[in-house]
Each structure stands twice: as C-alpha cells, then as structure tokens.
Structure 1
Amino acid sequence: MNENEEYSQNEENENKETNMKNNKIDRPGRQFYIPSQIVDEFGEKGRDHLAKPFRAQFLLALTAGSFMTFGAIFSILLASGVETKGIYHLLSGLGFAAGYAMVFISGSVLFTEINVLLPSYLFNKAGLMKANIYKFWASSYVGNILGAFMVGVLIQLSGSLPGTFYNELSMFLDHKMKFLDYGVKGWFEILVSGILANWLIGMAAFLTTAARDITGKFLGTMLPVILFVAGNFQHSAANMGYFSMGFLASDKYTWYEYIFFNLLPASIGNLIGGGILVSLLFSYAYKEDIQTSLGKGSRK
C-alpha cells in the first residue's frame, strides 16, 4: 500500500469514527424508565415514606384522603346527566383521575399506593416484621378515611353542590353497594373486585413512575383509573371519597355497612392486588436487573 492509499484509508476510518460519534450524540434520550428501574424506584419511594416522621406520614395520608373526596365529587359532576354509557364512564373516570394525579404528584400517602411501594421495599430487604412498617400502613389507612371525611364535611357546610349532584351520588352509592344483597357471596365478590382495582392502580403508579415529564405522569394516571372506575372495581381509597359524601348526605346506608360490607373486603383485595400482582410479580421477574441500594447504608 502506497502513501496516498494509506492516507485515504486513514481518512476513511476517521470519518467512520466521527459519524459513529455523531450518531450517538444525535440519538434522542429515552423518555421513560424501564421496568426494572420502576420497581427499584418503588422501593426507594417506600423507604423514603418510612423515613419521614410520623406527623408527616399522617398529614400526607390526610391529604391523600382529601384528594379522594375531591376526585369522587369531580367524577360525579363531570358525568352528571350523560346518557351514553361509554361517555358516562369516560367522564367519571377522568374526574376521579384528577384526585389520583394530585396524590401522585404531591407525594401524598395513599393506602392503595402504599400497597405497591412498601412491598417493593420489603421484597428487596430483610426484616419484614418491623413494627414501624405496619404502624405506617395502619396510619395511612386511618389518615385516608379521616381526610376523606373531613373534606366531605367541609363540602356539606359550604352548600356549593346542587341538588342534582346528590341524585347522581345516590346512583353511584347504589352501584358500589350492590353487593350488599348477596351476603357472603357478595363479600367475596368485593374482595376479588378489590384485587382487580389495586392491580390497576398499581399499574397507574407503574406508568406514572415510568414517565419522566408531567404530561406523561398525568396520562399514566388517567388510563388505569378510567378503567377501574368504568368497571366498578372496588377500590377502598376511592370508595372512601364516595362514602364520606354519602354518609353525610343520606341515611340509606349505615357507617358499618360501608365499612364492613365494602371497605373491609375491598381493602383486603387491594393488599393482594397491589402487593402480589404488581410488587411481587415485577420484583421477581426483574430481580436480576434491579440495581438497588435498598438495605445498604445507615438509612432505615
């Protein structure tokens, strides 16, 4: 090879290297987290929630419960008077998605989201029997109920909602409490429905965490929420919002019917749906890929 040919070959190789570098530079970055990163992020969020002082945990649980009542009200207002079933379900789901978006974006503590975050943390760390974990779980549930009821009281005192709202609310409550007529079979059906509901809400958290911008987070929240609302799947935190308004506006159902014949079986189902069908399933599926610092260092 003469000098000119060698020079031409070197120049061609340099051009190839430059083109490869340019291709790397020009390639757009990925706009979402991959599943293993999402599961890892779940665990990190669970740890961060546990690291907060109890007063912060409880206040954030109150806030999340409050958002559930706002979401319930918005879902009824948006769908009020709509005759077409598909549009009715779409609008009611969009209304409730507003409540969940406020929860996810604000970092509030929602019982059904904790059912996804904490198991993801626990599945990657030894020592499942620490009392503070279960204290946090219980306080989030109580805080959600109190927050939902508090907003229900304030709305009733405000006198802001029209009479037609309460007619629609009554229809929503009948839809939620239809299982009451079926005895033990109905109780079991609510439990199974609760599994499906928190499976979907777990996926809402999954999609929201995957998104890396605010628009993606809103869209990730909306789609599963619309589905669970349209399907009448029994989601305990969502039902807290509806029941807080129903308890104050009507005596058709008693508080113990709301709690023992809906919230209790729905909550058990929610634990199974979020903890097993989302956290455990994905933690096990991606365990080789998850690069996490959970359990390392001095943070507890």
Structure 2
Amino acid sequence: MQIQNMPNYGAVPPAEMAKLAEEAAVGKAKKHPEVTMVLAILAGIFIAIAGMFYSVVMAGAQDMPYGLAKLVGGIAFSTGLMLVVLCGAELFTSSTLLLMGKATGRLKFRNIVKNWTLVYAGNFIGSILFALLIFGGGVWEGGNGQVGLSSLYIAKAKLGHGFMQDIILGILCNLLVCLTYWMTLSARTAAGKMMACILPVAAFVAAGFEHSVANMYLLPMGYMIKELAGPEFWQAIGYTAQDFAVINLSNILWNLLPVTIGNIIGGGVMVGLSKWFVYLRVKG
C-alpha cells in the first residue's frame, strides 16, 4: 500500500535536472547587471575563502603522504562551492552552462558574453578584496610563516605549466565543477547539496586541475607575499623571494587566459551542451 502525502527525498531525475539547469542559466542572463555584479563579487569571496582554507590546511603538509594531503586540502576547498550553491552567488565556472540557453534558443551570444564579462570581473574583484584582507590581517604569517610558504608553493606550482597544459587542466577542472553543480540540482535538501560538493571538488583539487576563479585568489595571494613580506618572514621559512621569481604579474595573466578557455570548454561544452543534446534537444 502506498503512503500518500509523504515528502519525496529521492534524487531529482536527470531529465528534470536538465530543465532546472536550463531555467537557472536563462535566469542568470536575465538578472539586473548590478545584482549580477554583487553576486559575482560574493562568489569571488566564497571561492577565496576556500582558497584560504586550502592554503592553511596544506601548511606543513610536506610531512604527510602526498595523496592524503591533497585529499584533505581538496575537502577543505569544497567549502567554496557549498557557499556558492547554498548562499546564492554567481560563479564564472558554473556560468559557462549558459551555453545551454543558446543551444535551446532562449539566449543569444550577446546575453552570454555580457553575463560572463560581469561575472568574471565580479569574481576577480571579490577574490582580490579577500586576498587584501587576508594579507592585511596577517593570516599568511600563521604557523611561523608556514601558511605563507604554503601559499607560495601553491602559486609556484600553478605557474609551472605550459599554455596548452593549462587549457587541458582547465577543461578537466570545470568538467568536475559543473558536474558537481549538476549533482546539487539532484538533491532536495541542503545537506544533500553539501554532500554532492565534497568528492568531485576534492578530486579536481587533489589532481591539480586549474580553476580560473580559485586562481584569482591563490596567485595574487602568493604574489603579495612574495613582493611585500618582510625579511623576518623569509628568515623564518628559510627561502628568499628570488626562489619564487616565477610568481609575477605576467605569468599570472598568462595562467588565467588558458585556464579560462579550458573552463569554458569543460563546463559549457562538455557538460552543458552534452546534457542539452541528450535531454533538451528537439528531436526531429
């Protein structure tokens, strides 16, 4: 006997998730520009919070097994996407799914470009604002300089890739990020959405994939430490600024360009357009 009026705690079916994603994409493009900008700044702050958490957790992790350290750091970083999904914000990497709206004919390219420009700029502003606060607050000095050293290590590693490698790592990253967002659409509870964020995000962080918005915080944070830290910091960690010469503005910009391209392909094409093709395409 079927019990009536019981809440449905099962997952939303994939076809319904595709419709939800399409409506969300169209809704993003139709928001007032001022609203979009504020929500994008918040998303930049949320991802920067995750970047800060990751940097702190990874401080002194050289003594841990490599894979275990990456797993712990990746779980910490998943905080960022949880904040974006549950608190409501506009994140560039998930906004790449607006290509679904173009495929269904509900959005034009100018709508998408306008949204992407606003969201990308807002994410960057939020990331830099949070980095300035973290630097000004001296958080990077924690652990006798180990938190700052962690930030330097992270930035140096990210700037060690070639252009094509950054594109590929950007593709792989946003494939996982947008699949994570897709999974959150299947959950009917806040706890379910939070659980959906953990392992896919931990996977991309552990594997060293490249997320453009995360890099908007992690790379400038490393740059500020390299350029502004005093001699007592360098003495404490046993390095010099010259050891991190690769962390410069030119290399940061050269990282963000290919990673952004890769993120668009991984999220907008591999996730958004593939889901449109399977679930939303008008079949003749």
Unaligned 5+ residue runs, structure 2?
Answer: 228-244
Cα deviation 1:47-85 (Å, max 9, x = unaligned)? 222222111100111111111211111012123223122
1:175 to 145, 157, 176: 157
CA distance in 2, matches of 1:126, 1:86: 44
Could you tell me the TM-score, scaled by structure 2's length? 0.86
Q: Secondary structure at the match of 2:139?
A: coil
Aligned residue number for residue 215 of structure 1: 191
**C-alpha contact (below 8 Å) 1:36/1:289 kept by paired residues:** no
- Range that drifts further, 120-129 or 135-144: 120-129
2:274 to 269, 278, 281: 281
Q: 1:237 and 1:44 mapped to 2: Cα distance?
A: 24
Alpha-carbon separation, structure 1, partners of 2:128 and 2:281: 44
Higher mean C-alpha deviation, range 198-207 or range 70-79: 70-79
Residue 226 of structure 2 is matched in structure 1 by 250
Please point out which of 110, 115, 121 is paired with 2:101: 121
Q: 2:143 aligned with 1:164, yes or no?
A: no
Aligned partners of 1:248, 1:147: CA distance in 2, in Å? 16
Confirm or deny that 1:267 pairs with 2:243.
no
In the TM superposition, what whole-angstrom CA distance separates every residue of 1:124-170 from its partner, at most 9, and x where no partner exists? 225523x3431111111111111100110111111234111011111
Deviations 1:80-129 (A, max 9, x none): 2231222201111011111111111122011001012x112222225523
Q: Deviations along 1:242-298, whole A, 9 cap, x unmatched?
A: 1131121114321221112x11001001100111110111111123699xxxxxxxx
User: What is the letter of the counterpart of residue 84 of structure 1?
Assistant: P
Task: Please list every run of at least 4 consecutive aligned residues from structure 1 whose deviation after the TM superposition is greater than 4 angstroms.
Answer: none
What is the letter of the counterpart of residue 88 of structure 2?
G
Please tell me whether the aligned partners of residues 109 and 140 of structure 1 are also in contact (alpha carbons under 8 angstroms): yes
Give distance in 1, aligned partners of 2:36 and 2:6. Answer: 42
Q: Structure 1 length normalisation: TM-score?
A: 0.82
**2:147 maps to 1:191:** no
1:28, CA displacement in angstroms? 7.3
Whichever residue aligns with residue 81 of structure 2, its letter is Y
Deviations 1:205-228 (A, max 9, x none): 011111111111111111111000
SS at match of 1:109: coil
Instruction: Report sequence identity in percent.
Output: 28
1:76 and 1:95 in contact (8 A); partners too: no
Report if aligned partners of 2:17, 2:185 keep a CA contact under 8 Å in 1: yes
Does residue 43 in structure 1 map to residue 22 in structure 2?
Answer: yes
Question: Superposition RMSD on alpha carbons, in Å?
Answer: 1.9
